[in-house]
Amino acid sequence: MDWSNQPLPFKIYSSLEVMRLPQEFPQTGVSSLSAIADSIRPGTVGIPDLQTLAQVLYFSAGITRTRKYPGGEIYFRAASNTGALYQFELYVVCGDLPGLGAGVYHFSPAEFGLRKLRAGDYRGALVHATADEESVAHAPATIVCTGTYWRNAWKYQARTYRHFGWDNGTLLANMLAISSARGLTSRVIMGFLDDEVNRLLDVDVEREVAFSLVPIGWQSEPAPGPVPVYEPLGLETVPLSQSEVDYPLMRTTHGASSLASAEEVRSWREHPTPQPLPRETAGDRFPLQPLSEEQMPRDPIEKIILKRGSTRQFSRESISFAQLSTMLDVSSRGFPADFHQPSHALMNDIYLIVNAVDGLRPGAYYFHREARELELLQAGDFRLQARFLGLDQDLPGDAAANVFFLADLPRVLNAYGNRGYRAVQLESGVLGGKLYLGAYSLGIGATGLTFYDDDVIKFFSPHAEGKSAIFLMCVGKKLPKPPK
Ligand SMILES: Cc1cc2nc3c(=O)[nH]c(=O)nc-3n(C[C@H](O)[C@H](O)[C@H](O)COP(=O)(O)O)c2cc1C
């Protein structure tokens, strides 16, 4: 990494005034575990006002902590992100809301404010770009998430493209949970005409691209029809670095997974989710035993998001089977997305290495999601193997359990075409983000982790044969920090 050329952590429009957002939020009073697990039924009328919108933005991508280091300051955000590089920008496209006029806005976490890019109601442009997606048509506001290549590629080079899915996903886990806690429907939309959304925001597609949309709330009256013409904005932004290194593979991958016609968008969302094929195996099965309603911790979602961080060292102590069961249960129920058909479907399969869970033998497991049962694939102490699989880091060796997301990529790509690659990564990020929140709700630590792709598959084979490793989360008790 070239530290002298480190990219700015924020996008700054130099010529636009910022409109500060309210920073006082009403308590949702909704426990984090139910906010993670549940979503509000589509069609439930709810219109966010400015304060609610601010709350959704803050708990998805706001600055929640800062830490000084010799070269500067790190602005940690509400959701985890590879390398704390925060390459996702949020934009709001809304009609008139209580406290906010219709427009297209850029969210600035640094100042906690919005900058108006276009005045007027442009929601019709998103309705058009999503081929009349119902949740977008009825949404008072839609949040567009864009990924900025260089901000992450400075460290991770072309691998950043994969991080787009993961890091957008963890952010969306927070967004879905906080929206649900505020009684607002929300849904992840990945089927849209890339070119139209990028032009609406007027992003420089060589550098920044729309990756997902999230309609927030529902109003009975759909948004007014398409906005036929919108001019380029030509707004100046502060360069992220003195110079940028180009990794064309990312743009090629993005281009090859772009949608260019309304038919493609419709077929994207109408396709049944390619779920993993069942494999006949005969390992011992253990039904999940989540905490009962009375035993569930009741901390509200906002408190948990503020507490969340990535655990830097696990203590090797065990967690209980009830805790592991609760985390898996709330995080794996599925979430509203245009690529989930039926609504609870998932493309990722869940495998575990259990190091220390009371009531469960250490070993390798497969999670039968529908049956809510863990199947023992192989008993044994796999701490050393977990450490190796997690890129030779101590974290997975010391964690109580490691949760691996694996997918049958050929089936996903067969069903969806190239865009399936975006969705499968993003889905794993949402599930991982939910696991972070689920673990912290129970007072347990968690971290996302990078891994050796092919070795993960070898480890879980023959069961995992033909699949690809998508993402890894470690959970366990945190090692207390030594007193300063
Ligand atoms: C997809 C993903 C992969 C990550 N991989 C690693 C990793 O390999 N090693 C590690 O120590 N932390 C890893 N992290 C944790 C990030 O470093 C952490 O989220 C970031 O520094 C921000 O800090 P916070 O999560 O405490 O807010 C990962 C996080 C995510 C979301």
- Going 282 to 284 to 289 to 290, the CA torsion angle's sign is negative
Residue 213, beta-bridge partner list: 144, 189
| Ligand 1 atom showing the smallest separation from residue 312 Cα | 11
229 Cα–ligand 1 center, Å: 41
Task: Read off the pLDDT band of 124 (50, 70, 90).
Answer: very high
What average pLDDT does range 238-262 have in this prediction?
97
Q: Is 355 in the pocket of ligand 1 (CB under 6 A)?
A: no
Q: Is the CB of 82 under 6 A from ligand 1?
A: yes
Question: Confidence band (pLDDT; 50, 70, 90) for 451?
Answer: very high
Cα-trace Rg, the chain: 21
CA distances for 61 relative to 69, 107, 147, angstroms: 22, 9, 13
Tell me if 452 CB under 6 Å of ligand 1.
Answer: no
Instruction: Using the structure block, give the residue that is written with the tokens 């977990």.
Output: 386
Average pLDDT, stretch 161-184? 98
Say how many Å lie between the CA of residue 82 and the centre of ligand 1.
Answer: 5
Ligand 1 pocket member 459 (CB < 6 A): no
With a 6 Å cutoff on the Cβ, whether 450 touches ligand 1 is yes
How high is the pLDDT of residue 228?
A: 67
Q: Does the C-beta of 76 come closer than 6 Å to ligand 1?
A: yes
Residue that wins the pLDDT comparison between 1 and 158: 158
Mean pLDDT for the stretch of residues 272-285: 85
313 lines ligand 1 (CB under 6 A): no
Closest Cα to atom 26 of ligand 1: 309
Pocket of ligand 1 contains residue 320 by CB under 6 Å:
no
pLDDT at position 227 over 80: no
* Calpha distance 310→375 (Å, rounded): 28
Q: What is the pLDDT of residues 177-214, one digit of tens each?
A: 999 999 999 999 999 999 999 999 999 999 999 999 99
Mean pLDDT of all residues in 121-144: 98
Q: Note the pLDDT tens digit of each residue in 326-365.
A: 999 999 999 999 999 998 999 999 999 999 999 999 999 9
CA dihedral 33, 431, 85, 79 (to 10 degrees): -10
* Mean pLDDT in residue range 133-157: 98
- Tally: H helices and E strands in the chain: 16, 17
- Banded pLDDT at 14 (limits 50, 70, 90): very high
Is there a contact between 276 and 349 (Cβ–Cβ < 8 Å)? yes
Residue 484 confidence (pLDDT): 74
For residue 140, the model assigns a pLDDT of 98
Decide: 393 in ligand 1 pocket, CB within 6 A.
yes
Report whether residue 258 contacts ligand 1, using a CB cutoff of 6 Å: no
Q: Please state the rounded mean pLDDT for residues 103-113.
A: 98
Q: Which atom of ligand 1 is nearest to the CA of 170?
A: 31
Looking at residue 38, its amino acid is D
Residues of the chain with pLDDT > 70, as a percent, come to: 100
| Whole-number pLDDT of residue 71 | 79
Average pLDDT score, the chain? 96
Of 76, 152, 171, 310, best ligand 1 pocket probe by most atoms within 8 Å of the beta carbon: 310
Indicate whether 164 pLDDT > 90: yes
pLDDT (0 to 100) of residue 243:
96
* CA 18 to ligand 1 centroid distance, Å: 30
Residue 277, pLDDT above cutoff 90: no
Mean pLDDT of 129-142: 98
CA distances from 362 to 365, 385, 445, 472 (A): 9, 12, 19, 18
Chain centroid offset of residue 418 CA: 19
- Residue 60 CB less than 6 A away from ligand 1: no
| Lowest mean pLDDT segment, chosen from 198-202, 273-277, 317-321, 350-354 | 273-277
pLDDT higher than 70, residue 444 = yes
